[in-house]
Amino acid sequence: MPQRSSTSPITIVGLAHRQMLATSMTLPVEILRAAAQASPGRLRRTVNLHVMAKQPGVIEVANGLAIASQGFDHGILPDVLLIPAIWRNPHRVIKQERWQLELIEAAAANGSTVCSVGTGSYLLAETGLLDHLPATTHWHWFEDFAATYPRVKLRRDRLITQSDNLFCVGSVNSIADLMVYVAGLLFSRKSALAIENQFSPEIRRRFSPHELGPWSESHNDEKVLDAQLYLQKQLRAPLDVAAVAKAVHLTPRTLSRRFKHAVGLSMGSYLNDLKIQEAKSLLHHSNLTITDIAGAVGIPDASHFAQQFRRHTGVTPRQFRAAVRGKPFRLES
């Protein structure tokens, strides 16, 4: 992400065309603006949106909404570049909107956070920036995407992928998860937690660069991946670095160094995050008491568990359970 003053405005560029799905641009912007408002007054940053299209003017997009846009401006390098989802056939958009490719390449080279939503990943892949890197797209287009971009490592099992500053999300529903993470980068962890609780308190696992759980492939250190799997299987046990190191055939010192470098967290922090994510799932989907859930994730002291949970999420376990179960309706099967 470009280096900016801690109080300078956040610049978001959204790439617009008639076949875009408007919510894949408007929802991220609303989340980031809400995160800005959640920041302390002295640190509050404004969020400026530039909607860029081939020609300036009003665009009536696929869902019937009208969006005012400016022509593309090479002089604006954003903090966040949004590539919205494409309604129906993405190949038509690739032919008609090739002007976007240069802007995508420039933003990526500038270190901007580049986010493609659903089939917007076609435009990102068309630049070649995703070659030999993991990516995802809307599930309906998996086969076509794989055939069109065989050099991209399509991850059909992921809703979100990251390769440095390039992010793909599979659908509009997943963009909220990603924006919570981006809000943490742009503002603060406290702002991100406030937005998570406001927009999507039932998120089981916040997106993070180390991708908690068995989906982690943000790095290529096989020994560290083995260590992560070991920790996931030993969730309830106290952290024993020597035992983990022995299991993956490294010294404790070497494993600790490689783990922090690959994952971005110490093994202790990683294990604590796993415990909290599992606790969130149990609070949402089970009727276990909070004391039982604390024991199930290896924190036998319920008071200490509540403190840890609040430190990670910004709310108590009871508040979290009330939020995720507070919907007065459900879909009938």
Dihedral pair phi/psi, residue 231, rounded to 5°: -65, -35
Look at residue 306 and tell me if it is in a domain.
yes
**Same domain, residue pair 307 and 183:** no
pLDDT value for 210:
39
**Same domain, residue pair 44 and 168:** yes
Q: What whole-number distance in Å separates Cα of residue 171 and Cα of residue 162?
A: 15
**Same domain, residue pair 279 and 138:** no
CA angle, 8 as apex, 6 and 10 as ends, to 5°? 105
**Same domain, residue pair 256 and 112:** no
**Same domain, residue pair 67 and 187:** yes
The model scores a pTM over 0.85: no
**Same domain, residue pair 181 and 286:** no
Tens of pLDDT along 165-195? 999 998 887 888 888 888 888 887 777 777 7
Look at residue 216 and tell me if it is in a domain.
no
**Same domain, residue pair 191 and 44:** yes
Residue 189 amino acid letter: R
Of 199, 214, 240, which closes a domain?
199
Domains held by the chain: number: 2
**Same domain, residue pair 179 and 251:** no
Look at residue 99 and tell me if it is in a domain.
yes
**Same domain, residue pair 66 and 170:** yes
Look at residue 329 and tell me if it is in a domain.
no
Check: CB of residue 241 under 8 Å from CB of residue 271.
no
Look at residue 47 and tell me if it is in a domain.
yes
DSSP H or E stretch at residue 283: helix 267-285
**Same domain, residue pair 30 and 147:** yes
| pLDDT tens series, the chain, 333 aa | 554 555 688 999 999 998 998 889 988 999 898 888 887 766 677 888 999 998 888 888 766 678 888 877 778 889 999 999 998 889 999 999 999 999 999 999 999 999 999 999 999 999 999 999 999 999 889 999 999 999 999 998 888 899 989 999 988 878 888 888 888 888 877 777 777 766 655 444 445 443 434 334 456 678 898 898 889 888 888 899 999 999 999 999 999 999 998 888 899 999 998 899 889 888 877 888 999 999 999 998 999 999 999 888 878 999 888 876 654 434 343
Domain extent for 226? 222-324
**Same domain, residue pair 190 and 235:** no
Distance of CA 159 to the CA centre of its chain: 9
Residue 93 amino acid letter: V
Look at residue 215 and tell me if it is in a domain.
no
Report the CATH number that the domain containing residue 108 is assigned in CATH.
3.40.50.880
Look at residue 4 and tell me if it is in a domain.
no
**Same domain, residue pair 171 and 263:** no
Start-to-end Cα distance in the chain? 44
Pairing state of beta strands 47-53 and 57-60?
unpaired
Report the CATH number that the domain containing residue 258 is assigned in CATH.
1.10.10.60
Look at residue 75 and tell me if it is in a domain.
yes
DSSP H or E stretch at residue 142: helix 142-148
Check: CB of residue 46 under 8 Å from CB of residue 55.
no
